[in-house]
Structures are given as structure tokens and as C-alpha cells.
């Protein structure tokens, strides 16, 4: 379509955004026919840095980029926005417990939810990237009661893509040959990368890789990939996170027949998973809507055990921020 879509990115001066903004502006998100206005948010003391980002976006002379606004004012940053990439959050500092992170970032997402409720398009599609992404998303959605809960999602696509890559490498296949991958649960080391349904070039993945490799190597490698990147690069996985955020939002906006893992509201899910969480499910997408893949058999002990661990963690995170969800 020819009208301009407004795309908001928070944490715009951070590492992930330094990849993300340029890919959005280049057309990697909404395609070569969609003009874009970027609305970039970061904290007051990051505004100089955002000015530099705006200068570079101008200097790319992206044909699709109509306008770049940067601000620390959420009523400007979320004004009429059609798509929101919520990347901005506080990183975990030394000695900080996950609980402290939940509390600090939880507060950020109260304000973001309220600002979205007051300013964003009622159809705005949102991805939360900032950690702890699933629970931040739950809080954000709670504070935006006038926007449909289904429009608030969190990112487990990076975990999904990591799982695709590991299977492709192991079986010497192309990544596009690997299908029906699933990541269940939380974006955290408890996530459950599940290859029970996965096929590689039409063949059953579990016939190509042995169970020992799956359980002792594949699953922990995917679960701990973030830490391994930090160890190797001394910086977090920013470019691949940005790429996954584009994949998630593009597939949601434009549709895909592939199974993709999206953290979405669990209420009404067909698998009996605790309601009222933001939980990663296998989804397909069309016409701007996602739909959980139904009819999978997850009754075996291995699946049940792994799904329980990650569900329990999400329930405990929700309990931790209960005071924010009243
Ligand atoms: P970064 O620290 O480089 O950038 C974060 C930016 O957010 C900073 O510029 C900061 O000023 C800004 N910020 C903080 N509070 C804000 C607020 N209230 N409003 C607007 N901006 C705010 O971090 P990086 O590497 O870009 O990562 C961002 C987040 O993404 C982190 O929480 C990280 O853990 C998470 N992440 C999530 C992944 C996922 O798969 N869901 C994968 C990788 C990272």
C-alpha cells in the first residue's frame, strides 16, 4: 500500500536498534512498496546519540524512508504508531538477580503500556524484545486495555532461528529445508526447543539426529546461545536479535505458511497451558493475524516435563510482578 506506516522503536540508541532501524528503513520489514516513518525513542540522556542515528539514517538515503523523528517523549514516539518494536530496557547489571531485573524493567513497561494506550493506533502490532521479554509484554498489555491483547507479543524468534540453524548445520541441510520447528515457553534458558515435529527436506528430523545429541547438545546449545555469544564476542547478540525481530514482525504483518515461534497470550490456547501468560507457541500467520498450530501431540513425558519447567518459570515471573498487574 502507498500510505506511510509509522514504526516506533524504543531503546533506539542501543545495540540492537543500531541494526534494526536500518533494516526497517531499507524495506526488510514491510517490503519494497511500503513507505515508512520512523519514530525513535530513548531516554533523555541518549538524545545526542539518537541525533547521530538520525543523521546516519538520512545519510543512507533510503528510498522508502519518509521521515525520522527521535524523542524522549512517549506521546510523540507512540503517536498513531502502526508497529512498535519495544527494545528499550535496562540491561542486567553485575550481581543483579533476575527478580531485580523484573522489577526495574517491569516499571518501564507500565509507562510504555500507558503511553501506547493513549497514543498508538488501535491496530498497532507490538513485539517486546527487551528482557525479560515475555513478562514485560504481559505488563505492557495490561496497561493498554484499549488495545486488543492479541496485538502484544514477545520475541522468541531468535531462539527459533537458532534452533533452525543448529539442525541445518548438524544435517548439512539448508536452513530453508528445516521446517516445523517449535520453541515453547519463555525467552530464557528454560525455553523448550522441540524437534518432535521437525522435518529436514521432508524427512523426520529425529530420524536424522540421535536423541542423545538432541537432549545433551542441541537443546542446551539453543537455550544458552545468548551467553555463548557474549562469551565469544564480549558483546550481546544484537544483529541476530534485530534480524529475528524483523522476521517476527514481517511474518505477522505479511503472512507465512512456515511454522514460526511467537510468544503470544496463552489465554484460550489448545494445549492446556496455563492461561494469562505470554507464552511461545508454534504459529502460522495470514492477513495480519497469527494462529497457533493445533493438533500436536505433546502428551509424552519428555515434552510435558520440558513445557512444565518453562511454564513454571513464567508463572513465577508473573507472581513477582503481581502488584503491577492489579
Ligand atoms: P542496549 O543496552 O545496547 O540498549 C538498550 C537501550 O534502551 C539503551 O539505549 C537505553 O538507553 C534504552 N532504554 C532504557 N530504558 C529505556 C526506556 N524506558 N525507554 C526508552 N529507551 C530505554 O541493549 P541491547 O543490546 O540493544 O538490548 C536491548 C534489550 O533486548 C535487552 O533487554 C536485551 O536483554 C534484550 N534482548 C532480547 C532478546 C530476545 O530474544 N528477546 C535477544 C537479545 C537481547
Q: Please tell me the predicted confidence (pLDDT) of residue 32.
A: 95
Cβ neighbours around 48 below 10 Å, total: 8
- Cα(200) to centroid of ligand 1, in Å? 34
Is the whole model's pTM more than 0.95, yes or no? yes
Q: Please tell me the predicted confidence (pLDDT) of residue 1.
A: 45
Q: Please tell me the predicted confidence (pLDDT) of residue 150.
A: 98
133 ligand 1 Cβ < 6 A: yes
Binding-site residue numbers for substrate are 92, 98, 131, 162
Q: Please tell me the predicted confidence (pLDDT) of residue 98.
A: 76
Q: Which ligand 1 atom minimizes the distance to the CA of 244?
A: 40
Q: Which ligand 1 atom minimizes the distance to the CA of 12?
A: 9
Q: What is the DSSP code (8-state) at residue 146?
A: T
65 ligand 1 Cβ < 6 A: no
Q: Known catalytic residue: 160?
A: no
Q: Please tell me the predicted confidence (pLDDT) of residue 109.
A: 98
- Cα(11) to centroid of ligand 1, in Å? 6
Is residue 164 within 8 A of residue 181, CB to CB? The reply is yes
Cβ neighbours around 104 below 10 Å, total: 14
- Strands 125-128, 83-86: pairing is parallel
Q: Please tell me the predicted confidence (pLDDT) of residue 100.
A: 83
Q: Which grid coordinates belong to 276?
A: 494469562
Cβ neighbours around 119 below 10 Å, total: 18
Q: Please tell me the predicted confidence (pLDDT) of residue 97.
A: 77
pLDDT 10s digit of each residue in the chain, 326 long? 459 999 999 999 999 999 999 999 999 999 999 999 999 999 999 999 999 999 999 999 999 999 999 999 999 999 999 999 999 998 777 777 778 889 889 999 999 999 999 999 999 999 999 999 999 999 999 999 999 999 999 999 999 999 999 999 999 999 999 999 999 999 999 999 999 999 999 999 999 999 999 999 999 999 999 999 999 999 889 999 999 999 999 999 999 999 999 999 999 999 999 999 999 999 999 999 999 999 999 999 999 999 999 999 999 999 999 999 99
229 ligand 1 Cβ < 6 A: no
Q: Which grid coordinates belong to 37?
A: 516513518
Q: What is the DSSP code (8-state) at residue 195?
A: -
Which residue's CA lies nearest to atom 1 of ligand 1? 14
Cα separation values, 205 from 164, 199, 262, 295, 302, Å:
11, 5, 21, 19, 16
* ipTM of the shown complex: 0.97
Burial 251-283 (b: 16+ CB within 10 A, else e): bbbeeeebbbbbbbbbeebebebeeebbbbbbb
Grid coordinates 531485580 are at which residue? Answer: 100
C-alpha span between 277 and 266 (Å, rounded) = 5
Tens digit of each residue's pLDDT (9 = 90 or more) over 106-133: 999 999 999 999 999 999 999 999 999 9
Q: Please tell me the predicted confidence (pLDDT) of residue 8.
A: 99
Cβ neighbours around 203 below 10 Å, total: 13
130 ligand 1 Cβ < 6 A: yes
C-alpha span between 221 and 49 (Å, rounded) = 35
8 ligand 1 Cβ < 6 A: no
C-alpha span between 311 and 322 (Å, rounded) = 16
Amino acid at each position: 500500500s502507498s500510505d506511510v506506516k509509522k514504526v516506533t522503536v524504543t531503546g533506539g540508541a542501543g545495540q540492537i536498534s543500531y541494526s534494526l532501524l536500518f533494516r526497517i528503513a531499507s524495506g526488510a520489514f514491510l517490503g519494497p512498496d511500503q513507505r515508512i516513518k520512523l519514530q525513535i525513542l530513548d531516554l533523555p540522556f541518549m538524545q545526542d546519540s539518537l541525533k547521530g542515528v538520525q543523521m546516519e539514517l538520512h545519510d543512507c538515503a533510503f528510498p522508502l524512508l519518509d521521515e525520522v523523528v527521535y524523542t524522549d517523549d512517549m506521546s510523540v514516539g507512540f503517536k498513531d504508531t502502526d508497529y512498535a518494536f519495544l527494545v528499550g530496557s535496562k540491561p542486567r547489571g553485575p550481581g543483579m538477580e533476575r527478580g531485580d531485573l523484573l522489577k526495574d524493567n517491569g516499571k518501564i513497561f507500565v509507562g510504555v503500556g500507558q503511553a501506547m494506550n493513549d497514543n498508538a493506533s488501535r491496530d498497532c502490532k507490538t513485539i517486546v524484545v527487551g528482557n525479560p521479554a515475555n513478562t514485560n509484554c504481559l505488563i505492557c498489555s495490561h496497561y493498554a486495555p484499549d488495545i486488543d491483547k492479541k496485538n502484544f507479543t514477545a520475541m522468541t524468534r531468535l531462539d527459533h532461528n537458532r534452533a533452525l540453524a543448529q539442525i541445518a548445520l548438524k544435517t548439512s541441510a539448508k536452513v530453508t529445508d528445516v521446517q516445523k520447528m517449535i520453541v515453547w515457553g519463555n525467552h530464557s534458558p528454560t525455553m523448550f526447543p522441540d524437534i518432535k515435529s521437525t522435518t529436514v527436506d521432508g524427512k523426520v528430523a529425529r530420524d536424522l539426529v540421535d536423541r542423545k545429541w538432541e537432549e545433551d547438545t542441541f537443546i542446551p546449545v539453543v537455550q544458552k546461545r545468548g551467553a555463548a555469544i557474549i562469551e565469544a564476542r564480549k558483546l550481546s547478540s544484537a544483529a541476530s536479535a534485530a534480524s529475528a525481530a524483523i522476521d517476527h514482525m514481517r511474518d505477522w504483518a505479511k503472512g507465512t505458511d512456515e511454522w514460526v515461534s511467537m510468544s503470544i497470550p496463552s489465554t484460550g490456547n489448545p494445549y492446556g497451558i496455563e492461561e494469562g501468560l505470554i507464552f511461545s507457541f508454534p504459529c502460522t500467520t495470514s492477513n495480519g493475524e497469527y494462529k497457533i498450530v493445533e493438533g500436536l501431540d505433546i502428551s509424552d513425558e519428555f515434552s510435558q516435563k520440558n513445557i512444565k519447567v518453562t511454564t513454571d518459570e513464567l508463572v513465577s515471573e508473573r507472581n513477582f510482578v503481581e502488584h503491577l498487574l492489579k
